[in-house]
Amino acid sequence: MIKNIDLTDEQKENVKRFEEFTKEYIAPHADTFDKEEIIYDSVIKDMVANGMWGVEIPAEYGGIGMDMLNYGFYTEELSKACGNVRNLVGVQGMVSAAVLRWGTPEQKQYWLPKFASGELITAFALTEPSIGSDAKNVQTSAVEDNDSYIITGKKKWITFGERADVFLVFAQSNGRIGAFLVSKNTPGVAVKPIRDLIGFRGSMLGELEFNECKIPKENLIAKVGFGLSHVASHSLMYGRYSTSWGCVGLAQACLEACISYAGSRKQFDTLLKEHQLIQHMIADMVTNIMAARLMSYRVGTLIQRGDRKVSLEISAAKYFASTIAFKIASDAVQIHGANGCSRQYPVERFFRDAKIAEIVEGSTQIQQLFIAKHAFHK
C-alpha cells in the first residue's frame, strides 16, 4: 500500500482496486511463472477482462487510458505480486507508447486496438548479440525495396521475445536507424527461447533472427533516422519509468516479507524484530522505499504536466530505485538467513529479479553516465 504519498480519493480507490486484483489474479502464480519460465495466456485474459490491460492506451483506441500516476501505482502493485507480469505490461507499454507518440493516424488505428485488446503481444527488439548499450551501432539492416523493407539480422535478450506476436525492431538503413514493426509470422523470422536466467525467468526472453524478412513500408514508425533519437528514446523513457515503480513494488514486497518473518522467527529466545541490527536494516528499507516512491511519483507528475525535459528525472528515479531494490533484496535474504537462500521463501526470487532490474532499460552505469553528463553540462 502506498503510504507516504498524499492521494486523492479517486487514486486511493484505484490503488485498492489494483491491490485486490493483483492479489487475486497475479500473486498466486508468481512462483509458478518463475519455476516454469512462462506466463500463462489465461493471466492476460484475466487482465483484459478486469480492465487491467492496455492501460497505457487511450480509450479512443480501445484502451483504459490510465494517466501516468495511476499507471505508476498499478505498476507498483503488479511488481509486488509478480515482477514478470510487471515486465509484460511494461514492455507492452513501451511499444504502444512508440506507436502512440510517433505513429501515423493509420498506424494508430491499425495497431493500437490490437495491442489494447490483447490480440497482439509485443516486444521491444533493440539489443543484439554483440550490441547492448551502444545502440547506435546495431547491425541489423533494413534495405529499401520498392514499397517494402527487407530486414536482416539478430536480436538477443529480448523480453517476451519468445511470446510476442509483433516486434518493434531497430535496424540500420543507409547508415541511419529506423524503427520497424515486424510480425512474428513474417517469413524469415525465427525465435529461440532463452532459458535459465538468474532472474525474471518468467519473462520469456528470446533470441530473434530475421532472414530477409519483407515488411511493408507502412510498418516504419516515424522516419528512418528517427529510430534511436525519437522512437527508442521515447520508449526507453517509458520503460525506465515503469521499471522505477516496479523496483518500488519489489522492494516493498521484500520489506513486507521481512516484517512478517522477523515478527515470527526467534533467535536466542528473542524475536528477530527485537534485535537492533534487524531494526536498523528494516529502517533503511523503509526510508529508501519512501525516497524511491517519491522520486517515481515526481516523474509521473512531470509527465502528466507535459514536461518534455523529464529525461534526467526518469534516469535518476530508475537508477535510485533499482539500486535500492537490489540492496533491500540482499538484506531481505540476509534477514531470512539460510531460509532466504531457499525457494520456499519469496525473497530468494526477489533477490534474483532485483539484479536484473539494475541492467534492463539502461544499466546502472549508463544511468550514472547520463546523470553525470547532465550535471557537468548544465
pLDDT values of the chain reduced to their tens digit, one per residue, 378 residues: 566 788 999 999 999 999 999 999 999 999 999 999 999 999 999 999 999 999 999 999 999 999 999 999 999 999 999 999 999 999 999 999 999 999 999 999 999 999 999 999 999 999 999 987 878 899 999 999 999 999 999 999 999 999 999 999 999 999 999 999 999 999 999 999 999 999 999 999 999 999 999 999 999 999 999 999 999 999 999 999 999 999 999 999 999 999 999 988 888 888 988 899 999 999 999 999 999 999 999 999 999 998 878 999 999 999 999 999 999 999 999 999 999 999 999 999 999 999 999 999 889 999 999 999 988 886
Residue-range domain boundaries for the chain: 9-117, 122-224, 228-376
Dump strand ranges (E) for the chain: 122-125, 141-145, 148-158, 166-173, 176-183, 189-193, 206-216, 220-221, 266-267, 270-271
pTM given for the model: 0.95
Backbone angles phi, psi at 233, to 5 degrees: -60, -45
**Class at the top of the CATH hierarchy for domain 122-224:** mainly beta
Q: Where are the alpha helices (DSSP H) in 181-310?
A: 233-262, 276-304
One-letter identity of residue 103: G
Q: What is the dihedral of CA 233, 238, 244, 247, to 10 degrees?
A: -110
- The CATH code of domain 9-117 reads 1.10.540.10
The set of long-range contacts for 61-68, using a CB threshold of 8 Å and a minimum separation of 24, is 61/100, 61/108, 61/109, 61/112, 61/113, 61/116, 62/112, 62/113, 62/116, 62/117, 63/96, 63/112, 63/115, 63/116, 64/116, 67/304, 68/241, 68/300, 68/303, 68/304
Q: Is there a catalytic annotation at residue 361?
A: yes
CATH for 228-376 is 1.20.140.10
What backbone phi and psi angles, to 5 degrees, belong to 170? -105, 125
HSE-CB at 95 with a 13 A cutoff on CA atoms is 36
